[in-house]
Amino acid sequence: MLITKDNMMRSLQGWIFVVGLMALGNTVSCYVDHSFLKNRLYTGSPEKANDLAARLFGLWTLMSALLRLSCAILITNRALFNLTLLSFVVAFVHFLSEAFVYKTAPITVGVLAPLIVSGVSMLWMIVVAYCCQSTDKRANDTSKENFPRRVEDIPLPRGKRHKAE
pLDDT at 160: 60
- Rounded CA-CA distance 16/165 in Å is 55
Q: 62 lies in which domain range?
A: 5-132
Is position 146 within any domain? no
Question: Tell me, what's the pLDDT at 138?
Answer: 46
In this structure, is residue 147 part of a structural domain? no
Lowest-pLDDT range of 67-81, 109-123, 147-161 = 147-161
- Tell me if 46 is assigned to some domain: yes
Give the confidence band of 165 by pLDDT, cuts at 50, 70, 90: low
For 119-163, write each residue's pLDDT tens digit.
999 999 999 998 876 554 444 554 555 556 676 666 666 666 555
Instruction: With respect to residue 158, please indicate whether it lies within any of the assigned structural domains.
Output: no
pLDDT in tens, 5-54: 888 899 999 999 999 999 999 999 999 988 888 888 899 999 989 999 99
d(CA 152, CA 157): 13
Give domain status of residue 152, yes or no: no
List the single range of 85-89, 92-96, 104-108, 158-162 with lowest mean pLDDT: 158-162
Of residues 93, 132, 134, the one with CA closest to residue 11? 132
In a domain, 50, yes or no: yes
Residue 60 resides in a domain? yes
Other beta carbons within 10 Å of 13: 17
Handedness of CA 41, 47, 49, 51 (dihedral sign): positive
pLDDT greater than 80 at residue 90: yes
Higher pLDDT, 66 or 41: 66
Q: Is residue 137 part of a domain?
A: no
Task: Give yes or no for a contact between 127 and 8, defined as CB atoms under 8 angstroms apart.
Answer: yes
Domain count for the chain, please give it.
Answer: 1
